[in-house]
Amino acid sequence: MKYRYLILFIITAIAAACSDRQQPVDMTKHTTPTRQQSKYEIGYVEEKPLSSFVKLPGQLKPFEEVNIYAKANGFVKALFVDRGSIVKKNEVLLTLEAPEVESQLLVASSKFTQAQENAVASKEKYRRLKEAAKEEGAVAPLDLDNALSRMKADEAVVMLEKSNVDAMNNIKAYLTVTAPFNGTIVQRNISAGALVGPGSKANDMPLLVLQQLQKLRLEVFVPEVYVDKVDLKHPVSFVFNAIPGQTHTANISRSANALSNMRSEALEIDIENKNQSLKPGMYAEVKVPLLSAASSLIIPNNAIVRSTEKHYVIIVKDGKATLADIKEGLTTDNYTEVFGNLKKGDKIILHATDEIKQDTKIE
C-alpha cells in the first residue's frame, strides 16, 4: 500500500513538470530604440550673486622698520645693543670715534673766538670815534663811516664762524647713534673697531636694523579685478599658516589706492602683538569681504577655454558654435563671474576645448 502512494506521487510530479513548459522570450518586444545623445555637455549662463568674500594670501610686516647707518665717517667706539635687544626711543645704540672731527671742531671754535674779539674791538673803536665826532672837526666823517663798516663786517664774520661751530657740533652729534623709536634690534652687522660711514649705495649693509614688533601690519595684495569690490568697512578674517585652527578678525586699516607693478592694490590690517607671538614674515590666508553688489553673470568653471591669446566660452546658437571672448571676475570652486557678449540663459558647452571652431555644428 505504501509503495502504491509513492508511485502515485512520482507520476503526479512528472505530469506537473511537463505541463509547465517554458516559452522562449522575444527580447525584441521589450527593447526600445536608443535615442542618439549629443557628444557635447550643455550648460547655461546664470545671473546671481557669486560670493561675499575672496581668499588671498597675506604676509606680516613690522609696523615700523628702519635700517640704521652712520651719518659720519668713524670707527665704532662702543656698541651697546645686539640682535634681540629691546630699545627705547632716543636710547644710545652705539658711539663712533673720529679724531678729525674733534680737531675740526677746535679749529672752528678758535676762529669763532677770534672773530668775536675782532668784533668787540671794532665796535669799541666805532664807539670812541662816534663819541669824539661830537666835537666839530675832531674826526673826519670818512673815518667814522669806515669804522662803522668795519664793525658790521666783523659782526658778519662772527655769525659765519658761529654757524661753522654749530655745523661741527652737529657732525660730532652724529658720532652718537640713537634709536628713532621703540623697538627691537633684529639685525646687527658691525663690531667695535669697525670703520663705518654714510650708506651711499643700495647694497651697503646697515649697521643695525630696528623693527617695531609690538604692532604689525598684515599686508594683502588685491588683484585688479577685485579692487572696486572690496568692502573696506567690514572686518576681515585670517588664519596664519604657522598657527592653524586659530581664526582672527580685524578691520582693514588702510589701502594704497593705487595699483602696483603686479596690477594689484595693497591693503593693510593693523594687528596688536603685545606678547610678540606673531613674527614678521609669517604668511596668512585672508578672507577679504566683498561688497554686496548686484547679480552677475556666472558660468561653470569648466566652460571657460583658456589659450595663450584669450579666454572665451562657446555659445550654442541655432545649432552652431559661437566663440565669445570674456573677461573673468570673481571665482569660486565651481563658478566664475564673467563679462562679455553674454546674456542670461545662453547655452554654453561645458568641458569645451579649442578644437571646437567658430560655426562648428553642435548636434
The 10s digit of each residue's pLDDT in 83-105 is 999 999 999 999 999 888 888 88
260 in a structural domain: yes
Out of 93-97, 195-199, 208-212, 268-272, pick the least confident: 195-199
Query: Is the domain of 224 the same as that of 262?
Result: yes
**CATH number for position 227:** 2.40.30.170
Query: Is the domain of 273 the same as that of 315?
Result: no
**Maximum C-alpha span of the chain:** 190
Q: Which three cell numbers stand for residue 143?
A: 673815518
**CATH number for position 320:** 2.40.420.20
| Cα–Cα distance measured from residue 97 to residue 240, given in angstroms and rounded to the nearest whole number | 46
| Cα–Cα distance measured from residue 325 to residue 313, given in angstroms and rounded to the nearest whole number | 7
Phi/psi region, residue 84 (left: phi>0; alpha: psi -120 to 50; beta: rest), is: left
Give percent of the chain above pLDDT 90. Answer: 31
307 in a structural domain: yes
254 in a structural domain: yes
Query: Is the domain of 259 the same as that of 276?
Result: yes
Residue 235 DSSP label: P
CB-based contacts of 234, cutoff 8 Å, min separation 6: 289
- Confidence check: pLDDT of 350 > 70: yes
Out of 12-21, 264-273, 295-304, pick the least confident: 12-21
Report yes or no: 67 and 185 within 8 Å, Cβ to Cβ. Answer: no
Segment 21-37, tens digit of pLDDT: 444 444 334 434 444 45
- pLDDT for 180: 94
Query: Is the domain of 227 the same as that of 285?
Result: yes
319 in a structural domain: yes
Segment 140-164, tens digit of pLDDT: 888 878 888 988 998 999 999 999 9
First to last CA, the chain: 79
3-state helix, strand, coil in the chain (%, to 5): 25, 35, 35
Q: Which three cell numbers stand for residue 51?
A: 560670493
- pLDDT for 28: 39
* Structural domain that includes position 325: 43-50+294-350
87 in a structural domain: no
Burial (Cβ within 10 Å: 0-12, 13-18, ≥19) of residue 165? middle
**CATH number for position 152:** 1.10.287
Query: Is the domain of 305 the same as that of 280?
Result: no
Segment 161-201, tens digit of pLDDT: 999 999 888 888 889 999 999 999 999 999 998 888 886 55
251-275 mean pLDDT: 89
Domain end among 289, 312, 331: 289
Query: Is the domain of 135 the same as that of 166?
Result: yes
C-alpha dist (Å) from residue 346 to 284, 300, 322: 39, 13, 11
Question: Over the chain, what is the mean pLDDT?
Answer: 83
Query: Is the domain of 281 the same as that of 312?
Result: no
Q: Could you give the count of Cα atoms lying within 13 Å of 230 in the half-sphere of its Cβ?
A: 27
Residues making up the chain, counted from first to last: 363
85 in a structural domain: no
36 in a structural domain: no
Query: Is the domain of 274 the same as that of 244?
Result: yes
Domains identified in the chain, total number:
3
Query: Is the domain of 281 the same as that of 315?
Result: no
Domain end among 173, 191, 221: 173
Query: Is the domain of 231 the same as that of 270?
Result: yes
Neighbours of 133 (CB within 10 A): 16
Residue 24 DSSP label: P
pLDDT band (50, 70, 90) for residue 284 = very high
Q: Which three cell numbers stand for residue 351?
A: 568641458
10 in a structural domain: no
311-326 mean pLDDT: 89
Compute the Cα dihedral for 281, 283, 289, 293 and give only its sign: positive
Residue 37 DSSP label: P
pLDDT band (50, 70, 90) for residue 293 = low
pLDDT band (50, 70, 90) for residue 320 = confident
Strand duo 46-48 + 311-317: pairing: unpaired
Query: Is the domain of 227 the same as that of 276?
Result: yes
Domain end among 240, 260, 289: 289
Query: Is the domain of 117 the same as that of 157?
Result: yes
308-326 mean pLDDT: 88
> Higher model confidence: residue 23 or residue 139?
139
